[in-house]
Structure 1
């Protein structure tokens, strides 16, 4: 059976590995470290690469291809990986089955400023926003209603780059100050008007598209908890339920507009005052952090992406389990009444069928993360005391 090379070492890579294992597909994981949760999964073989972005990733994937010994399907899990692979697709296509949107589309959708402009031009529902470039921040921000959310236009600066998460600010002076701070790492910053709502007003769709077959799979989900609240990554999520039809229609419109190809996703926010959905941002060429929720609900996105990359029509899959929730770790529990009675909560790291990733995470990674945060607080408090 043709294998998969899954690139990355984060939680969504682990979800991809476990999803593919359900169909018996052999998986090699390309990671720049052996000490990661997915590296301990019994469902994959880990192969070291010198880096997960830029030229280091491209050269590393060439070495992986030699070790695998046959042409494999390539699945990505990070924005920097998508950028590197998209720019080097002519080198990698002889070695891997690769399904990505055209390079120009990848550039368009991975740049928040370009996507904002494009969405407004073609009539996609997006929040009002301003594009901030050094020198015009004040005037541009003054045209928006506060509060706003600020984030760098370049998505590769998020998460694994110098900027951790989008920042919400309440006033114009705060926005001006925060924009200046972001400009130290990003030449272009996007400010979006805040859409009124809580964590559970954030929805998403996950999809796979073939060049000839159109949409091969489409799943819609709803966030229950984000970390940090309102602007952070998914900590707990479920299937969207009755909102699926509306989300699916908006997603199909997006796919038709951009002529999308490959694996992707959209994040939406529902305005509590109007009930209107707006597109917050797309996910391009890779799996989402929480994409395993689709597999748990009966729509195996990685397996469908696998067959689509090979040029085959995937068998239609329907959501067959709405009473399941996915959480990134045991640190997150739903508030009373947030989940329907009987809902089974599945941990992102620990599974009895594949226990070592969870043991490594809870015994080592989570402990070290807490220790690092504690050390940072000590350093900050020490500096604050010294400056008194």
Structure 2
């Protein structure tokens, strides 16, 4: 790999404990690439990694004017001093990089994605429309216009159902839910929605655990949506349980699923990194697309080809004019997100009245935080995680005092 071209990890909004960002930093840094990162402060896990060539303390909220954010990125590009590969680490940065590509091209190498496509894909209702247009199976879903339609949609879909923030920037500016949330009945639905008359939320059919399997696809596509690297895996656990981000997953080849993901990218012309969540429904034998995240996936380091290529390395090679080696993915690797997986396993086992599965260490485990060649980020994450737990445990006491 020619590693002369630097890379910048781009983020919009507060996410100091983003292990996907750290994974990208380690992957490119170990290959000799000078990697720079936008961080909230000097004491986040990414900011203390030994693989970091330089950090830019740029706290953002996601409420900034896109033109101002673009000006900030241009300033960072000038500080780096050379054109760099821009790596989006969240949905908001993916939308920003695509829509401001003309201005950013002076200092950054970007995939030739249609400017409006990432915003459409990160919109939950936009993704539903794209799936309908191209014949991709997806769970039934509605985006209610008001409270009356919200209640009607609940009756139509049936309970339990899943709620998601409708647009990429909604979760930062005015989130309806803090994460993908399952509600069991109308009372719980109204409790979550609160007093909002026009809730910016997608209501989605829930596929019961007894009939469903969670699968993931991570990929990088070049120009015209040509797949350069496609990986598939099985999602074992998540946090929150059964509705949140992956905490444990297996790398497992699934040619049918890889074909579905590649076909969708070719049909839409999508170019860039992507993280797709699928739900296999045993009732009809279909893989149903649940989410399409047009950026780095937090657990992308689960996947490698036999040549040592992951999705981020594939992007770097392609955008710097180098050949992306072909070859099958390594199967049987495992990805684990430390303390969150322990919580998920414990609570899931208690809810289902069984012993937690897949807890013992195995060969080929990729850990989100702990790495023997880069230990300090795991130490910082432990401190941050402990602080988060302490704040949540003492919240009732603090509220009682008020």
TM-score, normalised to structure 2's length? 0.85
- Asked if structure 2 preserves the Cα contact closer than 8 Å seen for 1:203 and 1:240, the reply is no
In 2, are the aligned partners of 1:199 and 1:230 still within 8 Å (CA)?
no
- In structure 2, the residue matched to 1:15 is 23
Q: What is the aligned partner in structure 2 of residue 205 from structure 1?
A: 217
> Could you tell which deviates more after superposition, 37-46 or 131-140?
131-140
Alignment of 1:90-239 (within 5 A): 90-99=102-111, 101-135=113-147, 136-158=149-171, 162=175, 163-180=177-194, 183=196, 187-197=199-209, 201-211=213-223, 214-239=226-251
Which of 50, 72, 85 is the aligned partner of 1:73? 85
- Where in structure 2 are there 5+ consecutive unaligned residues? 346-354
Alignment match of 2:274 (pick from 249, 264, 269)? 264
Does the 8 A contact of 2:250 with 2:333 survive in 1? Answer: yes
Q: Which residue of 1 aligns with 2:60?
A: 51
**Residues 340 and 370 of structure 1: CA distance in aligned 2, closer, same or farther (over 3 Å):** closer
Partner SS, residue 293 of structure 2: strand
Q: Structure 1 CA distance, aligned partners of 2:339 and 2:249?
A: 13
- Distance (Å, rounded) in 2 between the aligned partners of 1:338 and 1:168: 24
User: How far 1:36 moved relative to its partner?
Assistant: 0.6
What is the root-mean-square deviation in Å for CA atoms of aligned residues?
2.7
Q: Aligned residues, how many?
A: 376
Supply the distance in 1 between the matched residues of 2:364 and 2:172 (Cα, whole angstroms).
29
Q: Does the CA-based 8 Å contact 1:267-1:279 persist in structure 2?
A: yes
In 2, Cα distance between equivalents of 1:167 and 1:220: 24
Structure 1 equivalent of residue 349 of structure 2: none
**Secondary structure of 1:155's partner?**
coil
1:41 pairs with one of 49, 68, 91: 49
TM-score (norm 1): 0.88
1-side partners of 2:300 and 2:172: how far apart? 17
Instruction: Select the residue among 285, 298, 319 that pairs with 1:309.
Output: 319
Shift of 1:220: 0.6
Q: Give the superposition deviation at 1:164.
A: 1.5
Question: What whole-Å deviation, never above 9, does each CA across 1:145-199 have from its counterpart, x for those lacking one?
Answer: 2221011211333379744212211224433453455x47x74321111012279
Q: Secondary structure at the match of 1:158?
A: helix
The answer as to whether partners of 1:166 and 1:231 remain within 8 angstroms in 2 is yes
CA distance in structure 1 between the aligned counterparts of 2:284 and 2:359, rounded to whole angstroms: 24
Q: 1:250 to 1:95 in 2, by over 3 A?
A: same
- Aligned to 1:132, the other structure's residue is in SS state coil
Q: Which runs of 5+ in 1 are unaligned?
A: none
Deviates more, 1:228-237 or 1:85-94: 85-94
Q: 1:179-228 CA deviation, whole Å, 9 max, x = no partner?
A: 455x47x7432111101227982111011111158111001111111001
Please identify, of 48-57 and 110-119, the stretch whose mean Cα deviation from structure 2 is larger.
48-57
* Counterpart secondary structure, 2:5: coil
Q: Secondary structure at the match of 1:312?
A: coil
Does the 8 Å contact 2:162/2:203 carry over to 1?
yes
Change in CA separation of 1:375 and 1:199 when aligned onto 2, cut-off 3 Å: farther
Residues 5, 59 of structure 1: CA spacing in aligned structure 2 closer, same or farther, 3 A cutoff? same
> Is 1:327 paired with 2:347?
no
Kindly tell me: are residues 318 and 377 of structure 1, through their superposed partners in 2, closer, same or farther at Cα, counting changes over 3 Å? farther
Provide the rounded CA distance (Å) in 2 between the counterparts of 1:330 and 1:178: 27
